[in-house]
Amino acid sequence: MSELMATAQNNSAFKQIPAGVHSARCVKVVDLGTQRKEYNGETSWKREVLITWETPEEMHDGVPMTVSKFYTLSLHEKSNLGADLTSWRGRAFTETEKQGFDISKLLGVTCMLNCIEGANGKIKINSIMPHNGEMEKQFHESLFFSIEDYQNGDKSVFEELTPGIANIVLRAQELQNISIDQGDGGNGASTEDVPF
């Protein structure tokens, strides 16, 4: 009789960047819309984004590797996005800037990423710092996806998303005709004169 052995080995072909500090450049900003979240039996709705960086010094098959992080779209100082952008910029947001910041301005901006290995063995971004000096030319084409553009009939960028990210977008409240109380959703008028 044949055996079917279960092991604890990770047989995934997906290659991760190693833990450590990496030079990086933002290449994707994806608006995931307002997503349903369950925590301790409670349901909430949060506007989310996905930001992706390429790491020119870490290559796989001749292509710079990428790393991404999911965020709630909020500039509150206790939010992950607010904390990471403050660290990346090297200064806090002013009260005026907190009224609205266009995160598409992150595309093409360089930084240093401190990546660590999580308990599940997956690499995650622990902190983001300013980058000083030169960096190789951008390899991946910049991509910005807005759920509002999708709702208005422009599906061209949506078709460039990976299937997994596209499926998350399709679960967004904005595309399900679900009525919820969002407050202002962290969206305000964009400001000028910010570093990125």
Per-residue pLDDT 10s for the chain (196 aa) are 666 655 554 444 568 999 999 999 999 999 999 999 998 999 999 999 999 999 999 999 999 999 999 999 999 878 999 999 999 999 999 999 999 999 999 999 999 999 999 999 999 999 999 998 899 999 999 999 999 999 999 999 999 999 999 999 999 999 987 555 444 443 333 334 344 5
Give the sign of the dihedral formed by CA 183, CA 189, CA 190, CA 194.
negative
Q: Where are the domains of the chain?
A: 20-175
Residue 192 main-chain phi, psi, to 5 deg: -105, 175
Beta strands in 40-135 (DSSP E): 42-60, 63-72, 110-117, 123-129
Query: Do 55 and 64 meet the contact criterion of CB atoms below 8 Å apart?
Result: yes
CB atoms within 10 A of CB 151: 13
In this structure, what token pair is assigned to residue 180?
Answer: 């919820």
pTM for the full predicted model = 0.83
Alpha helices (runs of H) in the chain, residue ranges in sequence order = 80-89, 147-151, 163-170
